[in-house]
Structure 1
Amino acid sequence: MKLERVSRSGKQVEKNSFEIKNLSGKSKTYSFDVEFAGNPAGIKVMTSNNLKVNAGKSQQVNFNVQVDTSKLDPGYYEGTIKVSDGSETFDVPTILFIGEPDYPRVTGAYMDKAEDGYYVGAYLPGGAEVLEYDLYVFNPNGTIGDFVDTIGSFTNAPVPYHEYLWDGTVLNGSTLPNGDWVLAVYVEEAGKAEYKAYLVTKE
């Protein structure tokens, strides 16, 4: 869950929410606690506690995020929403952005075998307005070879990662041979672009 992107304008209050569904056969009452790594000064999250959700039903959980940017450096802050029903506690990761920090747009990419193809994805700390996946030949000497194909183009990719199912084909529907390849990821966000390449294996 992404809490919010906050500008560098002093004190702000941002609202966010998510939906919780009670999958059990009886009504439950949930409580929530939000913690950010290192307990940084300048971030305070308020939410409803003792939220009753009937069996099989869903409820909206609302948050008010109070931020004092004068006490925070630009960047992103990782946190955890702890959801408790009184007997079990579930951790939901969250992230809060302050300003437009100078962090990598892409921190990794992968290609994993799936039942109906391949999961292709990238780790995006700040999301991306534009996202493209390009394949290149991986030369035996360890260098990047010829361009093969763009195997995916997307807009408004979410935080903190993007993933999709690729059928394993490239130009004109031909199947990409198994082996090592270079997966290059292009991202644009807030007028800034980044292009990074990663070695992947198609099995």
Structure 2
Amino acid sequence: MSWFRWWNKSRKPDTTASDAGTMGQETSAANPLGGQAAADKREALLALSRKLSGGSEQVAGEVAQALDHPDAYVGQWGDRLWNRGIEEPIPDLAWIALVDALGELGLVWEIDWKQEIETTLFAVHSLLDRRGWLLPAADRRLEQAIQTDHDTFQQLNELHDWLRPHGIVLGQLDINSDSYVLIVVREDDFTEMEQLAKASGYTLCSF
């Protein structure tokens, strides 16, 4: 997405030859606040990563790498980041790492802000299938939940309302883009996850 490339260049810090390549520079890119505040945010984000992924150490490990060694992360996952227009570390790299790691496991699904209804339904069905919730899929009747003449945001709200009686929240991880990163979580877990996202400096919200 071109927005990431523009934002990255506009926020690129000034460096000198004396400090280029130092550990301090790499740490500041990952944790721009520094100190205890950054440590608390790091802990919250790693806790959220494990909860959203069902305890996956692979997901948590990728997020930790983006936090602690952003240059190495970009080097390892450059092909994946290229699709987002990210070519070097950015302050929100760890949040993007979480989204991409969850996506690799099929635990999030990213759709455009203006999406065909068939794609939206496929995304939500896929997320429920991946979690093993509300099976068999034919009994979900998601198609009955939405109005075909509504826009994507309205349809996502309607799907969320349809799932709530089953104890399921349809939410999104906000990446400040023109897309929705969809995720389904248990309603009993949602408040804690939402608070962890806020404590880490990011937004997980329901529709």
TM-score (norm 1): 0.22
Q: Which has the higher contact order (CA 8 A, sep 6+)?
A: 2
Structure having the higher Rg:
1
Scaled by the length of structure 2, the TM-score of the pair is 0.22
Which structure carries more strand by proportion?
1
Q: Which has the higher helix share?
A: 2
